[in-house]
């Protein structure tokens, strides 16, 4: 495997009963870059993230992360190797405080004052400092989205998978959130795979884009070339792009 490739999927197939959610999906994620994953609802985007992060087992094919075949590994084990994710629908621990829910992520790799230092840094970085003692059920959507990202960061990932991080946010909140994501990539040198529907966001963030349609990759490349692709226009973008 090329050492610039941090993650690769090989011929992934995932079926749910009669539905073929992923049909022979091959993607490669370049280290240090932001890669986009787009496509219509039901295309298989979240399923692919679930397979990569170990939440679903593929029926066929393999996932190679940092040169190791991690197919079938449990999520926490893949996470320990340096892969973190956020969910399309946020999954907070409702009765935990913000600080407690961040502690869980750090404990795998750090303890005591080291863990606390990391949590303090992440709380400040994601502007959650003043909310540290609040219970998660008291947070609004924007705060929960920031917490979700913060929680992923406490595991100190090398690769971060984001499933529609902007969903549910208004345009100005979404744009601020995307700035945070770009900063995580640039300053903390974390590779990112992002699912997102808002095309200007994809255009602004990503160096590479994959397009899924009915479980198949129908195009890949830089955002500009993908936007000009006839099949992508017909399947997903429409003529306005």
- Residue 92 binds: one of Mg ion, ligand ADP, none (C-beta under 5 to 8 A by kind): none
Binding status of residue 166 toward ligand ADP by CB under 6 A:
no
Residues that contact Mg ion, how many (by CB under 5 A): 3
Binding status of residue 16 toward ligand ADP by CB under 6 A: yes
Of residues 15 and 108, the one with the C-beta less far from ligand ADP: 15
- Select 11 or 117, whichever has its Cβ closest to ligand ADP: 11
| Range 56-62, long-range pairs (CB < 8 A, 24+ positions) | 56/14, 58/12, 58/13, 58/14, 58/22, 59/13, 59/14, 59/15, 60/11, 60/12, 60/13, 61/9, 61/10, 61/11, 61/12, 61/13, 61/24, 61/25, 62/9, 62/10, 62/11, 62/12
Q: What share of the chain is helix, strand, coil (3-state, %, to 5)?
A: 40, 25, 35
DSSP bridge pairs for 15:
20
The interface region with ligand ADP, picked from 13-21, 97-105, 136-144, 198-206 by CB under 6 A, is 13-21
Q: How far is the CB of 22 from ligand ADP (least distance, A)?
A: 8
CB of 1 to ligand ADP, least distance (A): 26
What are the beta bridge partners of residue 28?
8
Question: What strand order describes the sheet that includes 19-30?
Answer: 19-30, 5-16, 60-65, 68-69
CB of 231 to ligand ADP, least distance (A): 17
| 119-123 LR contacts (CB < 8 Å, sep 24+) | 119/154, 122/150, 122/153, 122/154, 123/98, 123/99, 123/150
**From residue 30 to residue 69, what is the string marking binding to ligand ADP with x (rule CB under 6 A)?**
---------x-xxxxxxx----------------------
Interface map 80-119 toward Mg ion (x if CB under 5 A): --------x-------------------------------
Q: Does 86 bind ligand ADP (CB under 6 A)?
A: no
Distance between CA 68 and CA 236 in Å, rounded? 34
Under rule CB under 6 A, residue 143 binds ligand ADP: no
Taking the complex as a whole, the smallest distance from the CB of residue 24 to ligand ADP amounts, in Å, to: 15
Tell me which residues touch Mg ion (CB under 5 A): 45-46, 88
């Amino acid at each position: 495997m090329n050492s610039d490739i941090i993650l690769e999927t090989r011929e992934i197939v995932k079926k749910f009963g009669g539905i073929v959610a992923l049909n022979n999906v091959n993607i490669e994620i370049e280290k240090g870059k932001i890669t986009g994953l787009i496509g219509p609802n039901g295309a298989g985007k979240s399923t692919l993230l679930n397979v990569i992060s170990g939440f679903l087992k593929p029926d066929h094919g393999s996932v190679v992360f940092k040169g190791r075949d991690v197919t079938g590994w449990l999520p926490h084990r893949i996470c320990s190797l340096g892969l973190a994710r956020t969910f399309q629908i946020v999954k907070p621990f409702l009765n935990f405080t913000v600080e407690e829910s961040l502690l869980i992520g750090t404990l795998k790799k750090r303890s005591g004052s080291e863990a606390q230092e990391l949590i303090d840094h992440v709380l400040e970085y994601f502007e959650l400092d003043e909310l540290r003692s609040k219970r998660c059920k008291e947070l609004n959507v924007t705060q929960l989205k920031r917490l979700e990202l913060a929680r992923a960061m406490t595991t100190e990932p090398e690769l971060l998978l984001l499933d529609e991080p902007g969903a549910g946010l208004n345009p100005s909140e979404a744009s601020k959130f995307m700035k945070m994501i770009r900063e995580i990539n640039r300053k903390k040198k974390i590779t990112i795979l992002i699912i997102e529907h808002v095309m200007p966001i994809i255009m602004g963030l990503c160096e590479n884009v994959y397009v899924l349609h009915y479980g198949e990759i129908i195009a890949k490349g830089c955002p500009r070339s993908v936007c000009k692709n006839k099949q992508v226009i017909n399947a997903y973008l429409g003529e306005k792009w």
